[in-house]
Structure 1
């Protein structure tokens, strides 16, 4: 155990967060997301929700302030204006925890998958709420 580090941040996840550079993306995905087949390394966090992992990640990682949309979620297929419960929760967590409090922006399903495929890492959670997926762009610490 370490002081002031959320225990949800496993050794593998802490390593990935530390190894990421400015501008790299991390995907926090729900239990239905094709985390292993999309492409980048997939770290399992089955015992945690996406919201728990998001809160833990934002406690140590800055959000990019040099791009317009550093927090992206997956839009509901066929109803892009709907805000799923998980996405509303993500926004509340960003507003509470992030150093760069930005609105989450939705991407269509396949655009989200394409963006996820080029991420540094995917964290596959046990999140059971639909559309519980978010991509974060790492910022810099000044």
Structure 2
């Protein structure tokens, strides 16, 4: 057990999040998403799992360590409901609440279903959740944590 680290973040997920660079994207998906086949086409090339919890809970865990990109208009995307692009299903409302609670200054922008699948294939990785509700699928773009020039951390050379 690690201190101040969400227990949902297993070693594989932490490795992927740390390995991502500024601008890389990750997918958090529901149980209905073709996660394994899409994940095989990503940079990581394999599916990551955080089972038995809703997508919003996975989002909360990921956002506890991952900054969103502040240099783009939409660092957080949600899959649009087919034929109802303005509809926000319960899974997406829960995820929006977690996004707001994280302190990030973003909201989920919509992305059409087939465009979402194509973009997901170009992501760094896919994290499958245990979300049973439909449309619990999201893409996040990683940002940066800037260190101030005068900031010195313990262990840094002086």
Task: List per-residue Cα deviations over 1:30-61 (Å, max 9, x = no partner).
Answer: 00110111122210222222111100000000
> Secondary structure at 1:124's aligned position in 2?
strand
> Secondary structure at 2:93's aligned position in 1?
helix
Q: CA deviation at 1:91?
A: 1.0
Task: List per-residue Cα deviations over 1:99-137 (Å, max 9, x = no partner).
Answer: x32111111100000110000000011100100011000
Query: 1:27–1:119: 8 Å Cα contact kept in structure 2?
Result: yes
> What TM-score does the superposition give when structure 2 sets the normalisation length?
0.87
d(CA) in 2 for partners of 1:78, 1:103: 21
2:141 corresponds to which residue?
Answer: 137
The gaps in structure 2 that reach 5 residues or longer are 147-158
d(CA) in 2 for partners of 1:113, 1:9: 24
1:47 corresponds to which residue?
Answer: 52
d(CA) in 2 for partners of 1:20, 1:141: 13
Which stretch has the larger CA shift, 89-98 or 40-49?
A: 40-49
2:10 corresponds to which residue?
Answer: 10
2:107 aligns with one of 103, 107, 121: 103
d(CA) in 2 for partners of 1:85, 1:8: 22
Matched, 1:34 2:34: yes
d(CA) in 2 for partners of 1:70, 1:24: 10
d(CA) in 2 for partners of 1:103, 1:97: 11
d(CA) in 1 for partners of 2:13, 2:53: 13
Give the root-mean-square deviation of aligned CA atoms.
0.8
> Secondary structure at 1:82's aligned position in 2?
coil
1:119 aligns with one of 117, 123, 133: 123
> Secondary structure at 2:47's aligned position in 1?
strand
1:86 corresponds to which residue?
Answer: 91
